[in-house]
Amino acid sequence: MTTTSNDPYAATESQTSQGKVYTVTGQDWDSVVTGVAEDHDDKIVVNMGPQHPSTHGVLRLILELEGETVTEARCGIGYLHTGIEKTMEYRTWVQGVTLCTRMDYLGNLAYEAAYCLGVERLLDIEDQIPEKANVMRVLLLELNRIGSHLVAIATGGMEIGALTVMTIGFRERELVLGLLELITGLRMNNAFIRPGGVSQDMPAGALDEIRDFVALMKKRLPEYADLCNANPIFKARLVDVGHLDLAGCMALGITGPVLRSTGYPWDLRKNQPYCGYEDYDFEVCTWDTADSYGRFRIRLNEMWESLKIIEQCVERLAGLEGAPVMIGDKKIAWPSQLSIGSDGMGNSLDHIRHIMGESMEALIHHFKLVTEGFRVPAGQAYVPIESPRGELGAHVVSDGGTRPYRAHFRDPSFTNLQATSVMSEGGMIADVIVAIASIDPVMGGVDR
C-alpha cells in the first residue's frame, strides 16, 4: 500500500510489503486509530520505539495490529551496542572486569563473578580461592539480586500505572546501592570481584550496616505484598498475560524467573553450585501459572531467600576477621590489603607507601602486574551462574597471553527476549508492556 503525502505519520511516499507503517512518537492513540479508519484498513504495523521504557534499555518493538490485538510482534535490538566483548580482547585479564561489569548494569556483579570464575578455571586455581573471598562474593551477588529485582518490580509497576510500587521500589534500591558503595567504593559498575578473590576486605562497621538493612527489608518487603499480591487491579493486568509454558521455555532456552514461573525449579545456585552456594540454606522459588503474575511473585519471594543467604554470610564473615580475601600467589594476586583513598576512588596513601617502601623488587613487580598483567594458560572455559535474569555464562578463551583471545557472554536477557513474540501475539497492545516487564530484559546485556 502506498502512503499519501498528507499522512501525518509519513512525510514522504514509501512502499512496504506489509502495508502502511505508523511510527508512534507520543501522540494520542485516537489519532492513529482515526488515520487507520480513513484508509479502511484493519491491519497496521506500529513501531513502538526505539525508546527507553523505564530502565530496560533502548528496545524497538515492531507490532502488527488488527484493532488493538497484536497479530505479530518482533524485537529490534542493537541500539545500545557498546562492543564490550571485542574491547576485552585489547585489555588485560583483570581489566576485563571493568568492562564486563558494564553489560547488565542492574546485575553487574554477576557478570564480574562469572568472568572471574572462568579465568580462575583456566588458571586452575578454583580450589585456592580464600573462603572469605567466596563468602563476600555470595554476599555481593545476593545484594545485587535484591537490587535488580527491586528495579524489575518498580519499573514494571510504573509501566502499568502503579506508581507507589515504583517509588518504594527505588527507595529500597537506594539502600542496596548504599551498601554496595560502602563495601566496594562504587554504587554500580563495581569491578570489585577480581580473578583470585575480591579487591579488598570488608570495611569497618559494614556487617552492622548489613544487619540493619536486613532488619529493615523484613519490614519493607511485606508492603509489596500488601499493594500487589491480592490487588484486583494489579492481578487483572498480570494474571494470564504473557503466558509461556515449560515446553516453550525449553524450546527457546529461557531461564530465570520466566522458567521457574512454570513450576520447574531450575536454579544454578542449587543445581550447579558455585562460590560455595552448596553451604547455604535457601529455597528455589517457583510458581505454577506461567504468566506475568507468577514472575512477579517469584521475584518477590526470591528477595526473601536472598535475605536469608545474606544473614548467613554475615554470620560467617563475623568469624573470618582478618582472613585473606585474595589468593596467595603473588604472580596472580593484585594486592588486596588496600583501603580506598580519601577521594573514595583511588588507593589510600598508606597502601601506596607500603608498596613503595617494601623493596624495589616489590615495586617493579607491582608495576608489571598492573600494566602488563599475568599470563593465563592456553585453553577455554565456560562457567554458568544464576544471575537475577537467569543463566549467565562466561566463555573465556586464552592463547597463553596476558589478554583474553575471546570473551563471550551467554546473556539471559538476550535469550529471554525471544519469548516476546510468543507472549504478546494474540493479546492486546497494552499487554505487550506487561509481557516485556515480566521478562525484565536489560538491553546493556542484550547488545553488549
20 inside domain? no
325 inside domain? yes
155 inside domain? yes
pLDDT of residue 162: 80
Q: Which residue has the cell 604472580?
A: 331
79 inside domain? no
**291, 261 Cβ separation under 8 angstroms:** yes
pLDDT of residue 9: 47
pLDDT of residue 51: 67
pLDDT of residue 125: 92
pLDDT of residue 123: 93
343 inside domain? no
pLDDT of residue 40: 55
Angle, CA 410 vertex, CA 409 and CA 416 arms, to 5°: 140
Q: What is the largest CA-CA distance in the chain?
A: 84
**pTM for the predicted model, two decimal places:** 0.86
pLDDT of residue 224: 87
All three cell numbers of 251? 524450546
pLDDT of residue 363: 76
Cβ-based neighbour number of residue 103 at 10 Å: 26
CATH number at residue 102: 1.10.645.10
131 inside domain? yes
In the chain, which residues have pLDDT < 70?
1-41, 51-56, 335-349, 351-352
276 inside domain? yes
| Strand order across the beta sheet in which 379-387 lies | 379-387, 390-398, 406-410
All three cell numbers of 180? 554496595
pLDDT of residue 180: 93
Rounded distance between C-alpha atoms, residue 406 and residue 399, angstroms: 9
User: Any idea what DSSP says for residue 25?
Assistant: -
Bridge-based pairing of strands 406-410 and 193-194 is unpaired
Q: 115: domain range?
A: 84-332+374-447
Q: Cα dihedral angle (290, 295, 301, 306), rounded to 10 degrees?
A: 120
Split into its structural domains, the chain has a count of 1
Nearest to 374 by CA among 120, 187, 108, 139: 120
421 inside domain? yes
Any idea how long the chain is?
A: 448
